[in-house]
Amino acid sequence: MKRRVSWGIAVVLLLVFCAAAQAQESYLDEYVVHVAPGKRAAFDAVLKKLVAANRAHQGDNWVALETIYGEGSTITFVSPRQSYAEIEKANGAFMGAVEKALGHPATEKLFEDLGNYTAGSRSLLLRSRPDLSSNMPADPAARARIIGTMRQIRTIRIVVRIGQGPRFEELAKQVKAALEKADPNARSWISQSTVGERASVYYVSQPENSMAGFDSSNLDLSKIMGKDAYQNFIKAAGEVIQTEETTLSVFLPALSNPTPDIADAAPDFWHPKPATPKSTAAKPAPSKAPAENKP
């Protein structure tokens, strides 16, 4: 991975679901799964049963992503939450929906099968940071429309040195000001770990609707900040940041159950209609030649 600060690019779905009011806490509840080698097809087949059961009885909402550049066989499920209480409520709705659809024994078997196809997993709770983010719509519906039309997210996971969080956030605010002045469409949406890993881990996200979008989305900070300001920024970033890791993920609609606002932005993508099998017309039976009269 490149050891440099490149703030036009970034991490997993992050701030898309955050609350309209900055004073209100909002979270992203993430479940990261590493699928066992050679088990991806079996994993997807079982998971699709779980998704169908959850959808049928209005359980929880989430968006699924697969890492295509980074650690392979990694699937991330992201759900918006407004509070810890909502996490508990959503988990109950999810389990209730699945058990209502499948029954308790079948539900237990389904999760047992998923466990057999999983090499490891991790749960994370991230807190959105709109105060550090660039060009994030204040309207939740506008944010949903953005993510609903996106197909990839390029991500950066930044581990800040212990005790350097305030300095990092000051740097993030400098970038926010520079990006918003240079380009109202340059998205740099930041979230911070709160449970599951240390709090000095930050995520920055850039969604795009095609791979080609990443070719034009990298703003040159040295130009928009000015040479002297940029050099001071790079020096400070080197002192503050311990590590950074860039990945690229794609959305998986078949394994997702998005909120209506997201799905309505691109219904054909999020809820594609089953392919209609091609009908094969019956071939007419060959006509028999009239039998010859034998003498």
Q: Name the residue ranges covered by the structural domains of the chain.
A: 14-263
Rounded Cα distance, 111 and 114, in Å = 5
**pLDDT of 140-179, one tens digit each?**
778 888 999 999 999 999 999 999 999 999 999 999 999 8
- Domain 14-263 bears CATH identifier 3.40.50.2300: no
Percent of the chain clearing pLDDT 70 (strictly above): 83
Question: CA separation (Å) from 21 to 17, 42, 119, 208?
Answer: 12, 42, 39, 25
**pLDDT of 189-235, one tens digit each?**
899 999 999 999 999 998 999 988 888 666 788 888 888 888 999 99
- Whether the CB-CB separation of 178 and 170 falls below 8 Å is answered with no
pTM: 0.82
Q: Examine the pLDDT at 3 and tell me if it is beyond 80.
A: no
Rounded Cα distance, 130 and 139, in Å = 12
- Angle in degrees, CA 86, 47, 116, rounded to 5: 105
**pLDDT of 222-278, one tens digit each?**
888 888 888 999 999 999 999 999 999 999 999 999 999 999 999 999 998 876 666
Grade residue 18 by pLDDT with cuts at 50, 70 and 90. Answer: very low
The two tokens of residue 75 are 């699937």
